[in-house]
Structure 1
């Protein structure tokens, strides 16, 4: 078969999910209210709390939650065949990720922009909240350290991406000034900004930047990682309108253009899917499809990291509560589209099955490289773009996704450090919190040498901890819905499926770490399992209490209008 049916069916499912299911969630389950005073207005400070145009906020949210994970996960998971990956991405996006992201955004907006960790203290209990913070901290640490390594590797392997990757920062700063300081038309600024980014891509393809070895007494790998952490630390301290919002918005538009180039290439060339629908000849050492599929593809189906972004930054910028449907649910759809593109690139971007099998010779042998190589071949065949330019476009997409997630992750890690300080009655300001976040992230990244590959040290635990966090986030949403006497089933079904699969995978990995005598990962995995089980028990008890208690005396929208504490 060719890739065209996969593309059309996948896009149709995403469109149906947004037009139908998200409308049901917004109107019947969450009852979004345009007159509700959001935290961006109530707590406006010009730094973190800033009312934002929903299209700009969608750009921030989409690029922050996406990162490289919806490329890596699907491009690895197709080793089991394209069909399981396709089904989990499409169904997971529509019924799981959309509910999770929209629910987390709504829950935080209804609670003054508090993070999921803080909400767990209110709706589940103090003990659960402290354990929740442990899981969140470990997950953010994995994201920040691992994405630094991913970006570093791409900048070294694809030097043509260096100029557009760093030039995008300058473009974003100019876009922020144009929109917020000079009040220029958003459409005009968007066109100019995207044109500038693609001009940088053309320049980067013509003038690739390969760093000398050594540079300033460091290897290129060490230099890039240091530069990335310095940038992320500075960016996380800036007001969101200066860099975070405009960079993520313009990147989001550019990345959708990149996806459009890939999808149009599929439409024009209808490349053959050479990978099997179900792979019965997986390489030796490949884990079982169930439960590992459900944690290998996290971002792109459902991801706990999205809940941290929704409640950490996006909820503080929500202009109207009704914008949450576009920002949260459609943000998940955008990531699902990226995951769909990764599946097609990694299965239809090779000429023969033998070529595909040579790449997928072992588990984890796919990933970003397979996406760039396969997607570049499809774009080259569909639009006739030079192979080097096609690879530059896709590599730049991956770098920009990963970079936006990395510096958002540092900002979120700073929030977690500050929340942990509140638990022990120590006030931590923004500068100190950022310094701790950057120091811990860099410490892990360089823990195995100056090459920085220590950032991948605990990455094998990302999928399980990420999905466990998603289920725990859904438990908070479910408790809120039960307390308001609204239908909790749309939250409870994905909660149950994801929690069982993620916990199962965590126990499987526990055995793998024991057999490999990897005691560090074994201990971290055990901590995550204990914390998740404990929080889950607390959540079940909270749901029982909520169902037995009278409905909330004052709904959040009423309390907000009355000027009371929500």
Structure 2
């Protein structure tokens, strides 16, 4: 199979989905209106609620939801063959991920920027909200702890990425000042920012930063983890326009440049996919493709974490309601393109099938390193960029996206902790909530020793928890649309599919944890499964009640929940 064919078909499907299907969703299902005043305007506080240019907000949203997951998931899942991964990424992006992200963003900004957890309380009850928050808290804890470990590992294994990784923060600070304080031309600022960022990659490739074996008694991995959490805590407290927005925006641009380089290499070399379409010779111990494929590839097909970002930060920065189509749906398309590029790079970036099988010797042996190695080889062959610099570009892409997801995750976790505090009758300041988040995440990260590997302890639960979270978000959307008497099938069909696959995968994992006598993961998996099932049952009951209630409507002047329709009096 020629990889160029996969690239053309995949890109065509995703662009078509944005141009056609997202337009249908915007007109018929979500019924967007520019006359509606978004929370960014009605609740503007200059910190979390800030009206934002849709391209800048897209950059924040896209890089926050992308992270390393659309690289790691597909790079692992191709062990079952490239065809199942390709189908799930393309169909999932068009009909599930785009709709999910778009819908969560729309619903939140119609409710004063409230999180999807808060909306669950409004539409299915306080008990459902409390259970929902348990799932969200654990999911965010997995993300911030595990991504800190992933980033630190990449900074140690690819020291050429250190300078561009930390230099990107300085670039972002200047970009934020240029856009918001000095009101400079956005295209000019964007071009300069991207050029400087890629110049830092060239410098980093020339001057790798290798830490000594011990720094203040810490290993290099442990040192980077602590620095990352300090940075994440500070970034989560700063106004979004100072660092979070510009950092994510400039990272989004550099990713598209990086994707352009990667897809340009596909175009020039048109490499043959050496991996099998369906791999019948998987290594011993590889789990069944059904249902594990659908939780291994989360970001890039659908991800519950996206709903948390959409309703946690992006909805508070939306300038116009109609921007939600570009920010939400096209953000999912961007991630789908990254996942598609990963599939092609990891299945055609090797000379022979034997070379590919030498990397994929066991489940979870692919990952970021396979993407960097395979993609670096293709870029070198197609565009003549030195292999070292090619690897630096791809490694920096992975690090920067993982870092943006991590610092957004810390901010979102801070919101969740404050919300839990309110339920318990305790009002927590942003600083106190952030300290709690950082301390808990650090405690988990170093719970298995001084190398910080504890951050990966509960990561095996991420796939199922993440997809269950997506199903719960879709269930809330179904309740809202039912009350509004809007079409629900675009949400209900994906909801049933994702829910079945996620519950199936969670049950399979329970059996695996039981056999391995891993009581921590077994207990957490059971808790998450019970919470998810309970919330789902309450959501379907709420849908049934909504069908029998008076229909509700939203007018363009509403700033919160829909008002009931008042029947016209008979004359």
Q: CA deviation at 1:215?
A: 1.5
Q: CA deviation at 1:557?
A: 2.7
Moved segments of 4+, more than 2 Å: 556-565
Q: Which runs of 5+ in 1 are unaligned?
A: none
CA contact (8 A) 1:110 1:556 kept: no
Q: CA deviation at 1:560?
A: 3.4
Which structure 2 residues correspond to residues 453-464 of structure 1 after superposition, within 5 A? 453-464=453-464
Paired position in structure 1 for 2:554: 555
SS in 2 for 1:560: coil
Answering whether residue 65 of structure 2 is matched by residue 65 of structure 1, we say yes
Residues in 2 aligned to 1:421 and 1:328: alpha-carbon distance in whole angstroms: 29
Residues in 1 aligned to 2:437 and 2:327: alpha-carbon distance in whole angstroms: 27
Q: Deviations over 1:78-135 (max 9, x none)?
A: 0000000000000000000001000000000100000010000001111110000000
Paired position in structure 1 for 2:568: none
Which structure 2 residues correspond to residues 158-307 of structure 1 after superposition, within 5 A? 158-307=158-307
When residues 189 and 463 of structure 1 are mapped into structure 2, their CA distance, relative to the original with a 3 A threshold, is: same
Residues in 2 aligned to 1:428 and 1:60: alpha-carbon distance in whole angstroms: 26
Q: Deviations over 1:211-248 (max 9, x none)?
A: 11212222111110000000000000000000000000
Paired position in structure 1 for 2:29: 29
Residues in 2 aligned to 1:406 and 1:303: alpha-carbon distance in whole angstroms: 15
Answering whether residue 94 of structure 2 is matched by residue 94 of structure 1, we say yes
Residues in 2 aligned to 1:160 and 1:299: alpha-carbon distance in whole angstroms: 27
SS in 1 for 2:556: helix
Paired position in structure 2 for 1:385: 385
Q: CA deviation at 1:35?
A: 1.0
Paired position in structure 2 for 1:483: 483
Q: Deviations over 1:11-38 (max 9, x none)?
A: 0000100000000000111000011010
When residues 146 and 561 of structure 1 are mapped into structure 2, their CA distance, relative to the original with a 3 A threshold, is: closer
SS in 2 for 1:559: coil
Paired position in structure 1 for 2:144: 144
* TM-score (normalised: structure 2): 0.98
Paired position in structure 1 for 2:569: none
CA contact (8 A) 1:57 1:314 kept: yes
SS in 2 for 1:90: helix
Q: CA deviation at 1:559?
A: 2.7
CA contact (8 A) 1:115 1:308 kept: yes
SS in 2 for 1:114: coil
Q: CA deviation at 1:329?
A: 0.0
Q: How many residues align?
A: 565
Paired position in structure 2 for 1:507: 507
When residues 556 and 147 of structure 1 are mapped into structure 2, their CA distance, relative to the original with a 3 A threshold, is: farther
Residues in 2 aligned to 1:382 and 1:349: alpha-carbon distance in whole angstroms: 11
SS in 2 for 1:557: coil
SS in 1 for 2:558: helix
Q: CA deviation at 1:304?
A: 0.1
Residues in 2 aligned to 1:154 and 1:345: alpha-carbon distance in whole angstroms: 18
CA contact (8 A) 2:112 2:559 kept: no
Paired position in structure 1 for 2:322: 322
Paired position in structure 2 for 1:372: 372
CA contact (8 A) 2:120 2:476 kept: yes
CA contact (8 A) 2:554 2:563 kept: no
When residues 362 and 561 of structure 1 are mapped into structure 2, their CA distance, relative to the original with a 3 A threshold, is: closer
Which structure 2 residues correspond to residues 322-401 of structure 1 after superposition, within 5 A? 322-401=322-401
RMSD: 1.4
SS in 2 for 1:241: coil
SS in 1 for 2:419: helix
Q: CA deviation at 1:562?
A: 12
Residues in 1 aligned to 2:13 and 2:561: alpha-carbon distance in whole angstroms: 41
* TM-score (normalised: structure 1): 0.99
CA contact (8 A) 2:35 2:557 kept: no
Q: CA deviation at 1:556?
A: 4.9
Answering whether residue 76 of structure 2 is matched by residue 76 of structure 1, we say yes
Q: CA deviation at 1:522?
A: 0.0
SS in 1 for 2:559: helix
Residues in 1 aligned to 2:181 and 2:360: alpha-carbon distance in whole angstroms: 50
CA contact (8 A) 1:40 1:318 kept: yes
CA contact (8 A) 2:294 2:502 kept: yes
CA contact (8 A) 1:37 1:561 kept: no
Q: CA deviation at 1:380?
A: 0.5
Residues in 2 aligned to 1:333 and 1:556: alpha-carbon distance in whole angstroms: 30
SS in 2 for 1:287: coil
Q: Which runs of 5+ in 2 are unaligned?
A: 565-571
